Structure 1
């Protein structure tokens, strides 16, 4: 998170800042008032806020919704425990400071960690950089993702809940159920994927930490070097399969998602941004892999996930204005195009 992405606290997220300052004064020995609060831009399951105090800044996160099967307090404690474990393992995470499950402080449980200054990029095309700089930043992203995946699951403090293979089977089943509940139009490619995916889950049972939404926007880079100094947006983190996480990371090469940017149509040689094969090679170097087996399955899985999420937006959409109606058309078209792309990857698979 970068300071340039700050706004005043939005009305529906406001809380008693004086009460929070009093709480921090009691629980952080080196906290110094006065306290001022701003909010980071962008949607998130855990809204994020910048806390300014003399000589020191913090990031506060609270949850809008609890994790499945958990209370809000349990979700915050789980998030905080993960961040503490990652920081202790030497991964780029701001120093976790405290977790508060007392709703009376700001109206919801929250956790606090040190703010890590740096550069934050929302556009994956990295405008304003030269080719060498772009390449170096993507290399750093691949290295950081490999470091996360190389961490032993037991070191994260997260519940294992089965293996990487179990994760894939659970996710495919859940996504199929979610799509069927939200389907509005017949889409042949989606119907084929509903049958193909559960029958072709790879048996290479590799288990690792998954970030769940790892992309350039999730990273804070050093102020002048192509080096990741912090990873944020850990709301979807769990123990799962590293190649599913890698495929989710590679979606900008494959699809244009509204509001998230895309690498489709760019000149990889001129821009310096690695094409997908070169990016995968970098990931393999840092994760000590020789190959990525069944890559088309993982891509199809990630694309199917995008299509299911887009279909949910279509199902819940309310076209009460011309702009809303146009947005629903965009998402409806996205479901079809992404489903077709996923099926084109795997439809001729004989396995």
Structure 2
């Protein structure tokens, strides 16, 4: 590949010069391969001076907060170095958008696979391994929850005070805001008000702050090729400081059975995971945290995720997204609220 070429917003010659300035090898960038791009965050793998790298930057057409998000990811990954949390090794980052037109960072490649995209062998044919993959997913969240965010320099990353108290109001406001997208959209989500009211009325009183990944599910982890363990937790753009049981809540939400639909990233694999009670017990064992209100976090995950997905349904009604996509995501929203109702009834 021509060293002067630009790959999805990454000017390879300018990147080479930047790496020279930061003493990251010498010579040309070789074996350049685009891993993701387009509307997603851009990932480019390459080799230099005998070492492999992965560059991560925002999409070419950035969102308003894209650069700040990339700086946040860089900071979190750098802080996790030396911890037991499986994560891509951070190499170096750049906050100045003048270098490549966006903030970016370099990390170590991860030797693993994304289970949401399909299972390789032996994972595909081994139910026991699939069950253990569920426990490994929980272990990753539990391990993250044990990291002292103050000690690793992330004390000012978020606003942990009042974190849980803000949740329902935030997402209720988000849902109401969809009327600005389309005046034909109506919040046709049975139980949405009841679930929100239940969450406010039953909010846990004790919440010990810690690092939250913020979007913790099978699509945002990579598994090892040789076993059920995690190779790395990826996509840290929503990381903050708050109540770490938020991450457990999303595992509960996607694992909770719905007779009418199987939803969420890697839904078929998730249904092979141990039952919710076993996953919660594993989290308690590995994290040392109080999980007596685990169902509440599962309900919140259903509520929040369902409302987020409903935004695409509103955009589809407004002609700003494909109708089929909007209909599919609306169906998933309804399924999530059925799950929330089930969790409430069983709590």
Within a 5 Å distance, the mapping from 1:19-30 to structure 2 comes to 19-30=14-25
How far does the alpha carbon of each residue in 1:150-203 deviate from its partner, in whole angstroms, 9 at most, with x for none? 11121343325443x611112222111001112523434112223332232211
- In structure 2, the residue matched to 1:202 is 204
Q: How far does residue 128 in structure 1 lie from its aligned partner after superposition? A: 1.8
Distance 1:182 1:156, change over 3 A: farther
Do structure 1's residue 261 and structure 2's residue 266 form an aligned pair? yes
Do structure 1's residue 185 and structure 2's residue 187 form an aligned pair? yes
- In structure 1, the residue matched to 2:340 is 342
Counterparts of 2:281 and 2:296 in 1: how far apart (Å)?
18
Counterparts of 2:285 and 2:206 in 1: how far apart (Å)?
19
- In structure 2, the residue matched to 1:62 is 57
Contact 1:124-1:262 at 8 Å conserved across structures: no
How many residue pairs match? The answer is 328
Determine which of 144, 147, 150 is the counterpart of 2:146.
150
- In structure 1, the residue matched to 2:164 is 168
Normalising by structure 2, what TM-score?
Answer: 0.81
Do structure 1's residue 121 and structure 2's residue 126 form an aligned pair? no
For structure 2, the 5+ residue unaligned runs are 1-5, 180-185
Determine which of 88, 95, 104 is the counterpart of 2:89.
95
Q: Which moved more, 1:38-47 or 1:103-112?
A: 38-47
Counterparts of 1:45 and 1:80 in 2: how far apart (Å)?
17
Normalising by structure 1, what TM-score?
Answer: 0.81
Distance 1:302 1:180, change over 3 A: same
Distance 1:248 1:193, change over 3 A: same
Q: How far does residue 302 in structure 1 lie from its aligned partner after superposition? A: 0.4
- In structure 1, the residue matched to 2:224 is 222
Counterparts of 2:15 and 2:270 in 1: how far apart (Å)?
48
Counterparts of 1:233 and 1:149 in 2: how far apart (Å)?
17
Q: How far does residue 318 in structure 1 lie from its aligned partner after superposition? A: 5.4
For structure 1, the 5+ residue unaligned runs are 1-10
Q: How far does residue 145 in structure 1 lie from its aligned partner after superposition? A: 1.4
Counterparts of 1:227 and 1:294 in 2: how far apart (Å)?
27
